[in-house]
Chains A and B, each alone.
Chain A
Amino acid sequence: MKNIFNPKSVALIGASEEKNTVGLGISKNLLEGSQERKVFFVNPNRDIVLGLNCFSKITDIQDKIDLAVIAIPAKFVKEAVLSCVEKKVKGIIIISGGFKEEGNEKEEEEIREIVRKNKIPLIGPNCLGIINPCANLNASFAPITPKKGSIAFLSQSGALIDSVIDMAENIGFSKIVSYGNESDLELVDFLNYFKDDKETKVISIYVEGLKDGRKFMEVAKGISKPIVLIKAGRSDKGIRAAESHTGSLAGDYSVYKSAMKQSGVILVETIEELLDTSKALAWQPRCEDGIGIVTNGGGLGVLTADYCFQLGIDLPELEKGTVSFLDKKLKKVVNKSNPLDVIGDAMPERYEAAIEAMLLQKNIKGLIIISTPQIMTDHDKNAKIIVRLKKKYPTKPIMCCFVGGKLVSSAVKHLEENNIPNYFEPMRAVKSIKSLMKHG
Chain B
Amino acid sequence: MNILSFKETELILSKYKIPFCKTEIFNSKEKALLFAQRIGFPVALKVHAQKVFHKSEIKGVKVGIENEEQFNLAWDEMMESIEGKNIEGLLVQEMAYGNEVAIGMKRDKQFGPVLMFGLGGIFIEIIKDVSFRVAPINKNEALEMIKELKSFKILDGARGKEKVNINSLVDILISLSNLSMKEERIEAIDFNPIMVNRDRACVADFRIIS
Contact = CB atoms under 8 A, between A and B. Distances in A.
A214 B132 contact: no
B141 A255 contact: no
Given A262-B133, A262-B141, A214 B109 contact: no
Interface centre among B110, B132, B133, B141 (most CB of A within 10 A): B110
A297 B6 CA distance: 68
A259 B135 CA distance: 10
Interface of A: 209-210, 212-214, 217, 249, 251-252, 254-259, 262
Interface in B107-156: 108-112, 114, 130-134, 141
Given A217-B134, A255-B114, 15 more contacts: A210-B110, A212-B110, A213-B108, A213-B134, A214-B111, A249-B110, A251-B111, A252-B108, A254-B130, A255-B110, A255-B111, A256-B111, A257-B132, A262-B133, A262-B141
A137 to B, nearest CB: 32
A210 B108 CA distance: 12
**Top 4 closest pairs, chain A to chain B, by CB:** A213-B110, A213-B111, A258-B132, A251-B110
A217 B114 CA distance: 13
B51 to A, nearest CB: 25
A209 B110 contact: yes
A262 B115 CA distance: 13
Contact of A214 (B112, B130, B131): B112
A8 B124 CA distance: 59
Given A258-B114, A262-B141, A251 B108 contact: yes
B42 to A, nearest CB: 37
Contacts of A212: 110
10 contacts: A213-B110, A213-B111, A214-B111, A249-B110, A251-B110, A255-B114, A255-B132, A258-B114, A259-B134, A262-B134
A376 B130 CA distance: 53
Nearest to A254: B132
Contacts of B132: 254-255, 257-258
Interface centre among A210, A212, A258 (most CB of B within 10 A): A258
A259 B114 CA distance: 9
Interface in B83-109: 108-109
Contacts of B141: 262
Interface centre among B108, B112, B130 (most CB of A within 10 A): B108
A258 B133 contact: yes
A251 B108 CA distance: 7
Contacts of B112: 213-214
A262 B144 CA distance: 11
A249 B108 CA distance: 11
A131 B132 CA distance: 37
B128 to A, nearest CB: 9
Nearest to A251: B110
A209 B131 CA distance: 21
A188 to B, nearest CB: 13
A287 to B, nearest CB: 23
A328 to B, nearest CB: 47
B177 to A, nearest CB: 12
B109 A249 contact: yes
B78 to A, nearest CB: 35
A262 B138 CA distance: 11
Nearest to A248: B110
Contacts of A249: 109-110
Contacts of B111: 213-214, 217, 251, 255-256, 259
B174 to A, nearest CB: 15
Nearest to B141: A262
A212 B133 CA distance: 16
B2 to A, nearest CB: 23
A249 B111 CA distance: 11
A408 B199 CA distance: 63
B134 A258 contact: yes
Contacts of B134: 213-214, 217, 255, 258-259, 262
Contacts of A258: 114, 131-134
Nearest to A258: B132
Contacts of A259: 111, 134
Nearest to B130: A254
B38 to A, nearest CB: 43
A166 B131 CA distance: 38
Nearest to B110: A213
A254 B110 CA distance: 12
A355 to B, nearest CB: 37
Interface centre among A212, A249, A255 (most CB of B within 10 A): A255
Nearest to B131: A258
Nearest to B108: A255
A256 B134 CA distance: 9
Contacts of A214: 111-112, 134
Nearest to B112: A214
B104 to A, nearest CB: 12
Contacts of B133: 258, 262
A217 B141 CA distance: 15
B113 to A, nearest CB: 9
A210 B134 CA distance: 15
Nearest to B115: A258
Contacts of B110: 209-210, 212-213, 249, 251, 255
A258 B114 CA distance: 9
Nearest to A250: B110
Nearest to A217: B134
A237 to B, nearest CB: 18
B66 to A, nearest CB: 41
A89 to B, nearest CB: 33
